Each structure stands twice: as structure tokens, then as C-alpha cells.
Chains A and B, each alone.
Chain A
């Protein structure tokens, strides 16, 4: 944890001068932020400017577009739910228990976030594919994963779950332990303490992590195309439809790209609003 620096002012400057200085500093900061802002915003603007509204609505009602949107929404919802169920105990473990190998486990969870997505896809295929480490036994039981919607969910879970785990762990770590102890002294069971004290207090951070996981899953491409393949209506999520549609259906790809952008932006913004997590100047 970083300690907050103590600022002690030795002389009290007249307010007008310090205000001017503050304004100048703000302006400098703004100028310094421009290059990176431009790199982020200009491509997005280019995307928006290229779209013809008439075509947008036309492509919106095409079967392949609708299939991709529906598949993306269902698989990402599933992946987010699984991240919540499977990731919460793990996050709690990381936040509250010290054990040997904790640092290694923590780093291991970071890995999928930095792996190239195609590596994730190959790894998943070698694990759960028909000839995979585990997949070969599943096939013997008649369970096939590769090239199915389940593979899509697994790919999303693999790359996106760490976002939730990390955020939830940070949230749990920040909860005041004394409040939990007080509840425990009053006779609440550990599970009750968790659901009535820990979770509500860590709530905003946890929810924020969940949304990041969902957004990352929505944009997942590399692992999906390798592990789940590309089949319209079965494994072709929005990012896959955008990539494949780049040539024959450039306008359709654009339409999907825009929907994806609007979805991500809208949800991220809404959640930030709800949580009051928007950056407030100190």
C-alpha cells in the first residue's frame, strides 16, 4: 500500500496567486495528456465518421448480425456468472489468507491478462480439445467442447476472469476487519459475516471488477477463434463476425463494431454512475 504523502505548506500564499498557479498546472497537465488522448480518440472518431446510418439499421436486422449479438450476450453473461461463482472464493483466499505460494498464485492469476490471446486459445485447445490433456477423456464420455458455445464461454472465462478476481481481492482486502469481528462477536456465522458485512462493503469494487470481466469477455477474439472456431450462430461472436466480415461485409463489420462500442461504453458508464466511481478531483 502506498502511504499518502504529507504535504505541509511552509508559507501561506495569497489565494489569487495559488489559484493562478493551479490553473496553469491544470493547463499543462491537459496539454501533456493530449497526445495519448488523441491516439485513443482519433481511431474511435474515424470509426464513427465512416458509418452511414441507413446501412447501420439495415445490417442490424440481418440474421448473421443478430445471431452474433445474441451469442455474444449469452456467452459473456455466462462467463461473467462463472467468474463470480468461481472467482469469489479465490479472491477471498488471496485477500485474507497468507499461505506459502500465495505470491506465485497471485502472479499465475495475472498471466492470462498478459498472454497473447492466441496463446490462450492454443493452450485451451491442448487442454480441452478432442486430443487434449483432459479433452480426450471427456470425448470418451461423449462430451465435446471444442467448436461449441461452451468453448466460447471457456475462452472468455480464461482471459477475463482474472479481472474480477483481482478487483474482488482488492475489495475484500480493503474492508475493515474490526467490523467483521464485531459481527462475529454478535454471533454471526462466517458466511453471514461475509454476506452481511464483507460483501456490501467491498461491493463497489467487486461490481466494478465484474463489469471489467464482462467487457473483456465481450471483446474476446483470439482465444475464441482458435479454441471454438468460427460457426455463425454457434461460435461466431461479435468480434469474430467483425473480423471475418472485414472483406465481404465491411459495412456489417462496421455495424457490429459500433454496437460493440456502444454496448461497452454504455455499460461501463452506467456502472460507474451507479457506483459513484467516477473520478472526483480531490
Chain B
């Protein structure tokens, strides 16, 4: 019996030890291990995955700190922040989610800056068996379209673009309604839209230009500027960041010429700060 209790105590000790490393951002990396620097936690929209990972690698090499990324739909990140998840930097795919994080008190109002812009594009399956050539073809009956859910920034932008097309006499409301009838799924994030079109499970989808990786096999149909929606990406330090200095340095790295060039390479439209 005593031995059992001893085991339980050991287990409890182990659990609390885990819990205390948990607070330092998951992996048990004591802050002293990376010198005085430690670990920076960056919450970033799924569409930023590749570009930010590259910026992060450069940053790690320069600063000698570890960068831990949490990529997900902006709405999910904002929600996680609202629920008190530990983070140092938040980069959102739209203003609404940044504001959600603000109203939850995790981001100071006015501390956010737009660091990149993006635009929408229609992607078509690699084999394009539905023979989609122009926007108008999306309204053809039987075409499978996937959009992101309206809860996700890109999903809302997609619906905005469709509304703009509906207001145009050349397309009209019938066009928009026909396209919406063709939607088979509202995906949880922009990468899921891309995957399903790339697999050929859907004929077309709407994603950010930056989501199309170089050398990707999906086809593209451009959305003219008049109907396109320019997405703005704000970035801000988290108010109760455990690494406030590192957070500022990381944001500076995103705005640096090198950072902006990286974003541009991944098809984001850079901003001139």
C-alpha cells in the first residue's frame, strides 16, 4: 500500500513538473538553454505558413532564440488567445480577428501594423476535367466548388468578391447564386481548400494568390481587380508576452527589407512601411 502511494506521489510530481514546463510553451526547453534569449511563440494565420517559417529560420540564426509557430485559421488563433493561450506575437489574415484578440484584452489597441497584403484567385484542379477557363464557367451546373467557411477570413473575402460580381451587370445575381449552388463544402481553412482542389476532389476553389506554391500543379483563373478583395495582414505583439523584446524584434524582422522580400517571394504583396 505504501509503495502504491509512493508511486502515486511520484506520478503527481511528474505531472506537476510537466505542467510547469507546459507554461514555458510546450517543449521542456529551459530558458537558460538558449542563452538569455529563450523561446518566442508566434501565432500566425495558416496562409503565412511557408513565408513565416523562412523568416523564422533567419531570425533564429540571427538572434539565437527559438521560434515556435502556431499556424491555424485566424479565427481559431483569436479564439485561443481569448481563452488565454500563451503567445508573444499574433499575425492575423484580417482585421476582424485582430480586433477579436483586442476585445479579449490580449492585444493593445493601436499596436497592430499591416505588414503584407494578399489577393484572391480561383484555382482549378490539375487535370481541369470540368474545362474551366474563365470566371463565368464556375456557374455551370455540376461544377464542384469549395470555399473556405465564412468564419475564416478568406471565406468571407470570397463571398465579398462574389457580391461584387453580383453587383456587376456583366455577371449579375444569377451568376453568384449559381456559383453558391455549386459549393459542395465550406472548408475550415484555406489550406484545406487548396488540398481538395489539388487532389481533384473539387473542380475549383478560391484561395489567396500566396497559397499557390511555386511549381504547384493547380491551374488559375484570375479575378479582375474590380471584383477582387485585397486582404490586409496585421501583426502585433501580445500584451502579456513573456518575451516582449523578442516579439518586437520579430515584428521588425517581418518589416525588414529581407522579410518583405521573403513575403513577396511567396506571392504576398509587400507593404512600404
* A residues in contact (CB < 8 Å) with B: 25, 28, 31-32, 35, 125, 129-131, 146-147, 225-226, 228-232, 235, 243-248, 250
Contacts and interface: CB of A to CB of B under 8 A. Distances in A.
Contact of B79 (A226, A235, A246): A246
A28 B146 contact: no
A28 B1 contact: yes
16 contacts: A28-B4, A31-B5, A31-B8, A129-B200, A130-B200, A131-B200, A225-B187, A225-B188, A229-B187, A230-B186, A231-B183, A244-B151, A246-B151, A247-B75, A247-B97, A248-B151
B184 A229 contact: yes
Given A28-B1, A129-B201, A130-B200, A245 B185 contact: no
B239 interface: no
B144 A147 contact: yes
Contact of A229 (B97, B150, B196): B196
Nearest to A35: B12
Given A28-B5, A245-B151, A230 B201 contact: no
Contacts of B202: 147
Contacts of A25: 1
Given A229-B146, A229-B187, A130 B201 contact: yes
Contacts of A232: 186
Interface string B109-153: 000000000000000000000000000000000001010011100
Interface of B: 1, 4-5, 8, 11-12, 15, 75-76, 78-79, 97, 100, 144, 146, 149-151, 183-188, 192, 196, 199-202
Contacts of A146: 201
B188 A235 contact: no
A131 B196 CA distance: 11
Given A125-B199, A131-B200, A131-B201, A230 B149 contact: yes
A225 B195 CA distance: 13
A43 B184 CA distance: 35
Given A244-B149, A247-B75, A129 B188 contact: no
Contacts of B185: 147, 228-231, 235
B227 to A, nearest CB: 24
Q: Which 10 A-B pairs have the closest CB atoms?
A: A229-B185, A247-B75, A147-B184, A131-B200, A248-B151, A129-B201, A32-B8, A230-B186, A247-B79, A247-B151
Given A25-B1, A130-B200, A247-B78, A35 B184 contact: no
Contact of A32 (B5, B100, B183): B5
Contacts of A147: 144, 184-185, 201-202
Contacts of A243: 188
Given A147-B185, A230-B149, A125 B79 contact: no
A10 B5 CA distance: 26
A32 B200 CA distance: 53
Contacts of A246: 75-76, 79, 151
A248 B75 contact: yes
B32 to A, nearest CB: 30
A31 B186 CA distance: 48
A282 to B, nearest CB: 19
Contacts of A130: 144, 200-201
A247 B188 contact: no
Contacts of A230: 149, 185-188
B100 A231 contact: no
A195 B146 CA distance: 48
A225 B183 CA distance: 15
Contacts of A248: 75, 150-151
B97 to A, nearest CB: 8
A33 to B, nearest CB: 10
B262 to A, nearest CB: 28
Which of A131, A229, A230, A231 has the most B CB atoms < 10 Å from its CB?
A: A229
A118 to B, nearest CB: 11
A23 to B, nearest CB: 13
Contacts of B78: 247
A147 B11 CA distance: 45
B188 A250 contact: no
Contacts of A228: 185
Nearest to A132: B201
